[in-house]
Amino acid sequence: MRLRPALSSALLALMLASLTVGAAQVDLRAVFRDPQAMLVLLESRLPRTLAVALTGAALSVAGVLIQALVRNRFVGPDTSGTAEGAALGLLAITILWPSSPLWLRMIAASLSAMVTTALFLAVIRRLPVREVMLVPIAGLVLSGVLGSVVTFVGWQTDLMQYVGTWLMSGEFSGVISGRYELLWIAALAAGLAWFSADRFAILGLGDQVATGLGLSTAAVMRLGLAVVSVVTAMVVTTVGMIPFVGLVVPNLVARVMGDNLRASLPVVGLAGAVLVLACDLLGRLVIRPYEIPAGVILGVLGAVLFLWLLHRRPAHG
Amino acid sequence: MALLLALLAAVWMLQGLGPGNRGFILGLRATKLAALVTVAVAVGVSTILFQTVAANRVLTPSIMGFDALYVLLQTALVITLGGAGLVGLPPGAKFLAEIAVMSALAATLFGTLLLRGARDVPRMILTGVILGVLFRSVSGFLGRIMDPNEFAVVQAVSFASFNRVDATLLPLAMAVTALAVALAWRMSARLDVLALGRDPAVSLGLAHRGVTLSVLALVAVLVSVSTALVGPVAFFGLIVAGLAHGLMRTAAHAVLLPAAGLSAAILLVGGQWLFERQLGQAATLSVVVEFAGGLFFLYLLLKGRIR
């Protein structure tokens, strides 16, 4: 249980580091005397730092929820067709109504993400029950199929540039104040999940047990679906999808804390923020003054962690 | 089937030829036809081989990350030698060296995976899939830190396209494919035994481990050829292998291997003809193939055919 303070201090340290790293020299001590430094800090550094932390936290919580929904430890919002669904919705609204307001785009992306995630859940239900490993495989392939639809439509309509920013790796370099606020919605949605954390924990036990304990599984499923879709849609819209975060972080935290979601959800959020922030920082430092997107680094790191999770012995039952 | 392919090839070559400039057009078309057939045969045969080794009808080399490994190898080569150095090498020598390294790597990596993971097929698949993702991510990472000019060299092999065929490699690629297919054909009796499963094969006197590794090396060679020519194609092999098994209803590799090669060639040449000449949508064949193949894969999963 000493995980939380440790992660909190790590997050604070990383945030401070994130404020000092970048193309322009900013001396944190001089910030109140130097209006130029203040500007850089408030318009670019701080928004970016917040955006990274919010993304990491929200995606990790979404990962916990989707894993509870499909009762499988090896899926995440990026391997369940959710991200591709969000991109499909964005693509559709961009084609049908190019000048549509932002809120409408968000709704389109969220709804379409819900539809594809529901499709994934429907596919999962028809799989042979005892095969734990088939679920993530089906998710990956479904994501691939949906992704090819997105690519196809993108090609046909000359919108590949947009598709690239949504689905190829997540980038935080474009974040300035006024261009990331959607992520607060994602964080809010993830926060909602915490209020019904216990219900998701019960849902993870299986349909019969959950119903027996007096839980309306359908309602909880709907809530989970909504939260996962909204979080993913916001992330896809603002920074592009970040791979593996929602898949790996819940697993790592569960290894230490078990499945008491009410206690572990905040820790999952913290850990996700720390991980993504660390990767973003690394990406900013490796080839200074240029950058490597955090998503690229997480693609490598996340894949390695995932392989390790696959081949380790289960921590407990 | 061979007849059908010949017919398609004739249509491909001769359709809509105007009076002027015949030699040039025929030359272009012949190059493309040869490339399509080479790729098709490579993909078809390598998929059947791999499925036999893995004792599984749902797997293909690309699902397990073979072509991602090839792209990664390319990227690593460009970084270590520099783009100029890479272009400076004679393409033939470079290609052969790549194939050699690729075979060694693939045999080691997937050999360990297959020989160890035979009991837990789904876990093995997932491992392969994630390995593929890992290879692609590392390639992407390296692509970010290399010189943009060098990156262009890499990009040419990282996306599937049946239009952009690298003609310089074609004669060599055809020779390598022919050789690999001939070797596979020579092994077909041993492959039949291998398909029975490990224990029966061993008791019938088959050197199980050796055969497995050599087949994997062959698969790696064929995948290198098709990836070098048109880039990664994930599910095409799955469709073709499914077709070959469905049409032939036999387990004899002497029949299966040519059937897979032929049906792949028919699909590719026919598909390319349809998309390029009839629909004017040359770029989309690979996307459509991937889409259909992915759906087919999901269908196989749902039917529980993964065993």
Q: Is B262 exposed, middle or buried (0-12, 13-18, 19+ CB in 10 A)?
A: buried
In chain B, what residues touch A74 (CB-CB under 8 Å)? Answer: 126
pLDDT at B269: 78
Q: Under an 8 A CB cutoff, do B140 and A123 touch?
A: no
Residue type, B233: V
Q: Under an 8 A CB cutoff, do A151 and B122 touch?
A: no
CATH of the domain at A251: 1.10.3470.10
Residue type, A205: L
- Calculate the CA dihedral of residues A32, A34, A35, A38 and round it to 10 degrees: -60
Rounded CA gap, A39 and A57, in Å? 27
Reported as a pLDDT band with limits 50, 70 and 90, residue B63 is confident
Look at residue B154 and tell me whether its pLDDT is greater than 70: no
Q: Show the CA angle centred on residue A60, arms to residues A125 and A47, nearest 5°.
A: 140
**Residue A45 domain-assigned?**
no
**Shortest Cα distance from B90 to chain A (angstroms)?**
32
Domain limits, chain B: 38-303
Q: Residue A134: closest CA among chain B residues belongs to which residue?
A: B122
**Residue A170 domain-assigned?**
yes
pLDDT at A307: 86
The reported pTM is 0.82
In order of A151, A243, B167, B172, the CA distances from B92 in angstroms are 33, 37, 12, 7
**Mean pLDDT value across chain B:** 76
Look at residue A141 and tell me whether its pLDDT is greater than 60: yes
Fold entry, domain B38-303: ABC transporter involved in vitamin B12 uptake, BtuC (1.10.3470)
- Mean pLDDT over residues A93-107, rounded? 85
In chain B, what residues touch A305 (CB-CB under 8 Å)? Answer: none
Q: Under an 8 A CB cutoff, do A155 and B145 touch?
A: no
Q: Which residues of B touch A (CB under 8 A)?
A: 120, 122-123, 125-127, 129-131, 133-134, 136-138, 140-141, 144-145, 234, 283-284, 287-288, 290-291, 294-295, 297-298, 301-302, 304, 306
**Residue A239 domain-assigned?**
yes
**Residue A41 domain-assigned?**
no
Q: Under an 8 A CB cutoff, do B298 and A132 touch?
A: no
Residue type, B290: E
Q: Find the domain containing A100 and state its range.
A: 55-311
A258-282: burial string, b at 16+ Cβ within 10 Å, e else: ebebeebbbbbbbbbbbbbbbbbbe
Q: Under an 8 A CB cutoff, do B130 and A293 touch?
A: no
**Shortest Cα distance from A140 to chain B (angstroms)?**
9
Give helix B170-186 / helix B91-117 axis angle, nearest 10°.
30
**Tokens 């964005």 — which residue?**
A90
**For residue B300, what are the contacts with CB-CB under 8 A and spacing of at least 6?**
B57, B58, B238, B242, B306
- Chain A contact probe: residue of B72, B134, B137, B275 with most A CBs at under 10 A: B137
pLDDT at B158: 61
Q: Nearest by CB to B301, from A134, A152, A297: name it.
A: A134
User: What percentage of chain A has pLDDT greater than the value 70?
Assistant: 90
Look at residue B162 and tell me whether its pLDDT is greater than 50: yes
pLDDT at B231: 72
Reported as a pLDDT band with limits 50, 70 and 90, residue A117 is very high
Over residues A51-68, the pLDDT tens digits come to 899 999 999 999 999 998
Over residues A276-300, the pLDDT tens digits come to 999 988 888 887 777 888 888 888 8
Q: Please tell me the least confidently modeled range out of A72-81, A169-178, A291-300.
A: A169-178
User: Which residue pairs from B277-286 have beta carbons closer than 8 angstroms and sit at least 24 positions apart in sequence?
Assistant: B277/B15, B277/B16, B282/B162, B282/B163, B283/A155, B283/B161, B283/B163, B284/A152, B284/A155, B285/B162, B286/B160, B286/B161, B286/B162, B286/B230, B286/B231, B286/B233
**Residue A316 domain-assigned?**
no
Give helix B66-81 / helix B91-117 axis angle, nearest 10°.
140
Query: Hey, what are B217's tokens?
Result: 């090396």
- Supply φ then ψ for residue A299, to 5 degrees: -60, -40
